Chains A and B, each alone.
Chain A
Amino acid sequence: MTAPLPKRIIKETERLQSEPVPGISAQPHDDNARYFDVMVEGPGGSCYEDGEFKLELFLPDDYPMCPPRIRFLTRIYHPNIDRLGRICLDVLKNNWSPALQIRTILLSIQALLGAPNPEDPLNEAVAKQWKENQPEAIRTAREWTRLYAKKG
């Protein structure tokens, strides 16, 4: 059977509810407290503004020694996020630290939406477009946001 939920996860979950971060929400599944439905709003002023992006987040057994596993469910046009929604973000990989939390990770992801980094691409095609024709890329991203991440 599953081990009892560590104190840390309980506390994080409680705090996500009691002190929510604007533009971000995370709901644990009833049947699996380690599995969260996440919603991140595109940051204002970015090409993802007004978009609501759904993600799934899973806390592995050795969390917080290991980072949470997280991916976009909503399609998104972003050089650091691939077709499957996987995210290229240092704090989710080498720069993970147990001092980081769900909240800080989601904020980092939100920040990543505001500042795409084509120099460290995960999705080569998008990155290429971003570098060669940035206005076109931004337009596509807005288009995708409107298509797939529409609020409501």
Chain B
Amino acid sequence: MADIQERPHKKRRFFVDDDQSPVRNPTLSTEASLPDEIDSAPEAQAYAADTAEDRRPETDTFDADTFRAVVGGEVPDVALRSLQGRFGTNLEQAINAYFDGSWKTPSPQKLKAPVQSGFKFPNGLKKEASNGTPQTNGTSSKAPSPPPALNFMSSKRYIGALGVAGWTTRSGSNLLKPGDVVNIERTKQQAPQKPGRGGKVRTPMRRTQDVIVRFTNAKGDEIGRLEKDNANWISTLVDQKVCSFEGYCIFAPERIRTNDTVYLQLRCFLLKQAFEASNFIKPMENNRETGIFEAKESTDERDLRLRQIALVKLFSEINLQPSKINETTARHKREGILQAAEVAEQYEQVEATQKAKKSGTPPEGSSPPSEENEEGEELEQDQLDTLYKKAQSFDFDTPVAEPAETFVMDLRKYQKQALHWMLNKETSQQDQHKEQSMHPLWEEYLWPTKDAEDKDLPAVVSQACFYINPYSGEMSLDFPVQEQSCLGGVLADEMGLGKTIEMLSLIHTHTSPEQQAAVSNGTLDSVNSLPRLPKSSSQVEAAPATTLVVAPMSLLAQWASEAQKASKEGTLKVLVYYGSEKSANLQTLCCGANATTAPNVIITSYGVVLSEFNAVAAQGGNRGSHGGLFSVDYWRIILDEAHMIKNRQSKTAKACYELAATHRWVLTGTPIVNRLEDLFSLVRFLRVEPWANFSFWKTFITAPFEKGDFVRALDVVQTVLEPLVLRRTKDMKTPDGEALVPLPPRTIDIERVQLSVPEREVYNHIFARAKRTFTANVEAGTVMKSYTTIFAQILRLRQSCCHPILTRNKAIVAEEEAAEAAVDMANGFADDMDLASLLERFEADEGEQDASKFGAHVLKQIQDEAEMECPICAEEPMEEQAVTGCWHSACKKCLLDYIEHQTAKNEVPRCFNCREPINARDVFEVVRHEEEDAEDEQGVDGSLLATSALTAAMDVDSEAGEDEDEDELYGSTQPPPKSSATPKTNQHQRISLRRVNQLSSAKITTLLTQLRRLKKTSPLTKSVVFSQFTSFLDLLGPALTSSNITFLRFDGSMAQKERARVLTEFAARPKVTVLLLSLRAGGVGLNLTCASRVFMMDPWWSFAVEAQAIDRVHRMGQAEAVKVVRFVVEGSIEEKMLKVQERKKFIASSLGMMSDEEKKMQRIEDIKELLS
């Protein structure tokens, strides 16, 4: 079939090079002259003046979003939502327009539809317009909906001419002679599927796409086809109904044979349809459209790309240059578009071949973008560093701003500087932007006034020029106005510098005029000036007094409490919008009329935003009906930990884009996590033009980066970042060498743990198998296939370093890593008897001795012996008293050592005291329970209770002994204080016996030893214990209890209220000294400065994750030196993981994110090392 698409090889050519063709259009150079005569047309002047008049009152009150939204109303559903979502404060006329429906149907009668009055009309421009200056003549709006200007346009308009070569598909005499008119056609005789737009089904192999452009004679018979290089783009323009072409034969042989070359002149006309936005496929990343209804993106994106290329090619062929172009945009070469498109093409091909390999994969474009699916290349660490370096060039002489009086916290100097910067971003930019007129993405072109033969073309009143957005492919006859730009930014101060506080100071300091009015008058003036709007359920209500904070769930409580702490009482109303609080109707709560009572800060989670987004989408985009987050236009919106939306394709990100607010801020310590696209998503949320247009972004950042032009790409990113980002780091020094935030020192020690013999056996067993699996797969070349299996085994290996028992529970594995891993694991481990028997030993030792076995006298004896000297080591009192089954006491270690000593000599262990044979299992630890009240009141070494009270309590307690709960074998008190006794012994104590779990994990034992030592030396010091395995936390809990250490636990499975309670309690109660935290739940955001010790129970692949966890404790507000202990099992995979960490191999990506083969290949290398 190839011969149909490709011109056959020519046997003989008259003209070697088409460029030297004599028929190259001689008229082209004259095309771009200015059509001056049109501009003085009185109608045009009148029209311009008229419209300007109309708009004047709105000039200062309308923001661009509204303008955009209103204009974007052509597609009713989308536009409706867009309109509602972006309504600002003074929207009288726009709303009227909306309700009288005039904007819906673009008819000539509605030429001066009130909707137009909503447009922002820059001052300078207005003046020009009334003077009838050519460039701005006529209109001030741009395109998506059919603007009035369109009505002046005829169905097509001449744009230029070009010469092309074609080849004939027929032979014969007098088929074609110079001067003949030929039709330029796109017929699709071959293709069963329409390759054009509109419900098109693409064949998977795109390279065979039909681009054939035929030319036919007057009778409609095909004479030949255009050469492919021109056909490529001409076909697109025809298919997408951008242009039509008229052809004239310039040269043709008299007697034509198949495959002869003929030369044609093509006259090109832009179709009216092209200017009707509805006729265009919405480009994927077009901010003018709400994302709720974003269609199959890749198809659209592809069409957009084709159109971009086609338009650029067309304009270069007809030599039409823009008459006006934005400075920013002009700085970047327009060729970038073509480059980007090329890159996309290559990409696509690779992708297509990959897809083709996988059978059963749905064709590209039909699969919804998943949250995991990330794009773009990862940045190397040094590239990231370079990027940040520039953003971090913080000027220490930046002026400071004082927060409002209602803000009661003391700000450090750099925080006041941040406030100043933020105030600046929110206010002063408004004025700057009025000077800019044309939207930066758009280019202005003048309609040619002469045609190819240099004849005058009919001028169209008031239409001297047209506009093209080469990045979105949109075309317009109306002037595209620079939209109001982002009135916010990225606050990217490093974690611990107090981003929350800085933001709260801004919330206090910069309030909306409406709120100020409400506060000073008690009523809202602007409400009176604003006619009561007809209440519609689908309407978005302005919330001029409200700032919305979106944060990860674990931080909601913290935001709420910080907001309260930072505010003078009663000056800030905070609403945590989560769970049951969601029943509140935010429209009612926050509307302008209620500005005095409206919550000033609404705090919610990304999860809530997402679920409400889905709800709104399910209701066809009716924002208002829900009364939820999307029904309100906030004064300000803040995304905390904004890297949550770094993937622009994720639903969470899309949901956040749709939230409406005047000021938009993102807070993140890492604006770029590992891809440049991470930053795009933030920019898009902030609506920073022109960068919020993905096509633009791709053209100037992604494409050069992927082509290896790092310098250029990163340079551009820096120019994006610089005005937008404020970033300071903790280690920044002021010019006089002082740290920005003096933090107490932090030390990190690695505690190397020795596995016990039975643990080691389990470990070795799993290690051997993991290695076998790996080696076998390497030999068989199936490493990639069994990737998950291998990783599952490595996971087990890591778990066995914590506690062998962890490896047994398959459910745990499922919880910790991907579910697929668990499946493999289940298969691989099900029949594993060896391991089972190894693990058996770890199971038996759980549970406690039945209380009935003990007589009261035995426990009395145990109590009495507690203060005595250890019969074995002579320590007095004995350390960690333990008893044999025959109730003889010694230090736990001495006792166990002796049993081991005898066992080693192949003797039956016997009691050191009575020589009764004893079982190693039957050794019990004596656990003392200090009375809670006593401790909380007195601290650990609390002073003496009154003797009488003690005695009384003792009596009661010993009688109640039988009824103690299971854990308590016996309740008693110490004998009445002897004169020589230490105060400690006077405490009212109960004891219980717990089997010594000899086969416990070495890590747990080490941790307990450290915690006990800490408790002795500084009883009030709090510790945070991190593990990535929540199942390990499950084991740590009971171990802490048995050591009489009170702890709390915080993990991802907890409800928000519970989390808040845990955090408050941990900070507030002196008795609670340990917080067990899952690395994932607690890695981000939390403030745990009440603790000063950190125990990392297991290493993560990247130290950065651990460091982040450590920074929960070592952050601003920490007053004490922080000691960190990282547990690493000696001679294990954990040690090797540390090496991998050091090499920074895993720095940018964690295992959870692995999605494609390439990354896996890299990891294979690491696995090799881990298993060496």
Contacts and interface: CB of A to CB of B under 8 A. Distances in A.
A62 B910 CA distance: 18
Contacts of A64: 872-873
Contact of B901 (A6, A7, A62, A99): A62
Chain A residues touching B, range: 10 to 19
Given A98-B894, A98-B898, A7 B915 contact: no
A48 B898 CA distance: 36
A141 B894 CA distance: 42
Interface string A90-120: 0000010111000000000000000000000
A12 B897 contact: no
A83 interface: no
Given A62-B901, A65-B897, A65-B898, A8 B915 contact: no
Interface in A60-84: 62, 64-66
A47 B872 CA distance: 35
A11 interface: yes
Contacts of A66: 901
Interface string A1-24: 000001110011000000000000
A7 B913 contact: no
A23 to B, nearest CB: 24
A97 B912 contact: yes
Contact of B913 (A62, A65, A97): A97
Contacts of A65: 897-898, 901
Interface string B565-586: 0000000000000000000000
B875 interface: yes
Most buried by B among A8, A62, A95: A8
A148 B912 CA distance: 37
B875 A97 contact: no
A7 B912 contact: no
A6 B898 contact: no
B874 interface: yes
A62 B873 CA distance: 11
A7 B898 contact: no
A135 to B, nearest CB: 36
Contacts of B873: 6-8, 64
B871 interface: yes
B895 to A, nearest CB: 9
Contacts of A62: 901
Interface in B868-915: 869, 871-875, 894, 897-898, 901, 910-913, 915
A82 B911 CA distance: 30
Contact of A99 (B875, B897, B912): B912
Q: Say what secondary structure dominates the interface of chain B.
A: loop
B896 to A, nearest CB: 12
Contact of B871 (A7, A95, A99): A99
Contacts of A11: 869, 874
B915 A98 contact: no
B153 to A, nearest CB: 101
Contacts of B915: 95, 97
A138 B911 CA distance: 38
Contacts of B897: 65
Nearest to B901: A65
A7 B874 contact: yes
A65 B897 CA distance: 8
Interface in B911-929: 911-913, 915
A64 B875 CA distance: 13
Contacts of A95: 915
Contact of A8 (B874, B901, B910, B913): B874
B893 to A, nearest CB: 12
B609 to A, nearest CB: 64
B352 to A, nearest CB: 73
Contacts of B898: 65, 98
Given A62-B901, A65-B897, A65-B901, A99 B913 contact: yes
A22 to B, nearest CB: 23
Nearest to A62: B901
Contacts of A7: 873-875
A129 B133 CA distance: 143
A5 to B, nearest CB: 12
Interface string B1047-1063: 00000000000000000
A66 B901 CA distance: 9
A11 to B, nearest CB: 4
A98 B874 contact: no
A17 to B, nearest CB: 15
A95 to B, nearest CB: 7
Nearest to B872: A98
A33 to B, nearest CB: 15
29 contacts: A6-B873, A6-B874, A7-B873, A7-B874, A7-B875, A8-B872, A8-B873, A8-B874, A11-B869, A11-B874, A12-B874, A62-B901, A64-B872, A64-B873, A65-B897, A65-B898, A65-B901, A66-B901, A95-B915, A97-B911, A97-B912, A97-B913, A97-B915, A98-B871, A98-B872, A98-B898, A98-B912, A99-B871, A99-B912
* 8 residue pairs, one from A and one from B, having the closest CB atoms: A8-B874, A99-B871, A98-B872, A65-B901, A11-B874, A99-B912, A97-B912, A98-B912
Given A7-B875, A98-B894, 8 more contacts: A6-B874, A7-B873, A11-B869, A12-B874, A64-B872, A97-B911, A98-B912, A99-B871
